[in-house]
Amino acid sequence: MNSEQSPPPLGALRVPVYGLFALGVLYTLYLAHEVLLPVTLAAMASLLLAPSVQGLARRGVPRTFGALLMLSLLVGFLGGIGTYVSGPIMDWMEEAPEGIGNLLLSDHGLHEAYTRMTDSARQVEETVEEFADEGAEERPTTVVLQSESWRGQLLVGARNNAVAIALALTLSYFLLVSGDSLIRNLVAQLASRRKRHTVLKVVSDSQREIARYLGVITLSNGAVGLLTGIMLWVLGLPEPVVWGVIAALLRFIPYLGVLVTTILLAIISAMHMQDPLMMLVAPLAYLALSSLVGFVLEPYIHGYRLDINPVVIFLGIFFWGWLWGGIGVLLAVPLMTVIMVVLRHIHSLRPVYRVIAR
């Protein structure tokens, strides 16, 4: 006797459906990054600059002029810093491999061993060429394909990012000018009063949290960069101002930026100093200074600390960096800040917020 099978309960299908939805979102983010990246940049920039534009509007400045002024100041500030540090960084990247090689091969007889190895390889190559010349009068022409230099690859990447940034700036201007009316029209379509309040609260809290985060982190990073530049100048290392600016910029990437700066300072010190103990002064002093600012001054003087678990921050940096490259790394913390605001205000997502909170 055949018995008819009952369909699975809805609860059993919930997890697979959510999994497929998450995979679909991930694939969409990756596939449509050329569109989503400028839109995300524009949204972050408008959330950051909206309070300033609104403040200028309350003082009688038209929103069209206020938005243009704030975006011009932002582009001028970032462009000036990029122009200032790009030249010395390019020169250092060309000199660093040779300097690091000389540093690694200068002690413990490694340089002599390396010289003997290259001489032996050269002799073997000459012997092989002599036998080849005797065995054949005509040899086929060897074609060497020269790959594009790292400078060219860097310029191509910068050009692609410049297009995305230009589109993001254009969209940011329109969001700053007309974004409020767009949000009001969206909220007006919601039937529930509670939903309307939630949407407005998420937008206002996102603006406040991003402005607060960037304000605090900019002040603290500027102080770290200034003290790092002074320290490098006292130690007699080259380009102290440039490396101070780089130390400040890299610190916008939580944890990972501090690690990269420490390694860079160790390399610079090793290339320009002879005493092994003096080589450790710059990286260890920067590490101590950054730890003091990060664990004492930022949370207790400014009263601010990211309410995200450090493990989630690391995973977020790697995820957004894999998804959108270098710009994704810089956007990781602001994006997670907005995500935390959304999770905190939506009741059904509160359990997720409690899991990833600090």
DSSP labels, 249-296? HHTTSTTHHHHHHHHHHHHHHHHH---HHHHTHHHHHHHHHHHHIIII
In a domain, residue 95? The reply is yes
Place of tokens 């206002």: 204
Specify the pLDDT at position 130.
60
Does residue 17 sit within a domain?
Answer: no
Where in the sequence is the domain holding 123, given as residue range(s)? 33-135+157-189
Report the 3 state secondary structure along 126-142: HHHHHHHHHHCCCCCCC
Q: Looking at the DSSP assignment, which residues form a beta bridge with residue 308? A: 357
Is residue 145 scored above 50 in pLDDT?
Answer: no
Radius of gyration of the chain (CA): 28
In a domain, 330, yes or no: no
Q: Does residue 100 lie within any of the structural domains?
A: yes
* Distance separating alpha carbons of residues 353 and 334, to the nearest angstrom: 16
pLDDT at 227: 92
Whether this prediction's pTM lies above 0.85 is answered by no
Q: What is the pLDDT of residue 113?
A: 52
Reference 343, options 355, 331, 333; nearest CA is 355
Residue 205 counted as domain residue: no
Domains of the chain: total: 1
C-alpha span between 158 and 164 (Å, rounded): 10
Token pair 């100048």 is found at: 233
CA 23, 355, 214, 156 dihedral sign is negative
pLDDT digits (tens, 9 = 90+) for 232-289: 999 888 888 888 988 888 888 877 888 888 988 888 888 777 777 888 888 899 988 8
Does some domain include residue 337? no
pLDDT-derived band at 104, boundaries 50, 70, 90:
low
Helix (H) or strand (E) holding 338: helix 310-345
Residue 327 located in a structural domain: no
- In this predicted model, what pLDDT tens digit does every residue of 306-317 receive, in sequence order? 567 778 888 888
Q: Is residue 159's pLDDT more than 70?
A: no
User: Which residue in 47, 15, 4 sits closest to 214, CA to CA?
Assistant: 47
Q: What percent of the chain has pLDDT over 90?
A: 3
pLDDT range class, residue 144, cuts 50, 70, 90: very low
Residue whose pair of structure tokens reads 């699975």 in the numeric block = 8
- Count Cβ neighbours within 10 Å for each residue of 232-258 and write b for 16 or more, e otherwise: beebebebbbbbbbbbbbbbbbbebbb
Say how many residues make up the chain. Answer: 358
In a domain, 21, yes or no: no
DSSP conformation class of 245:
H
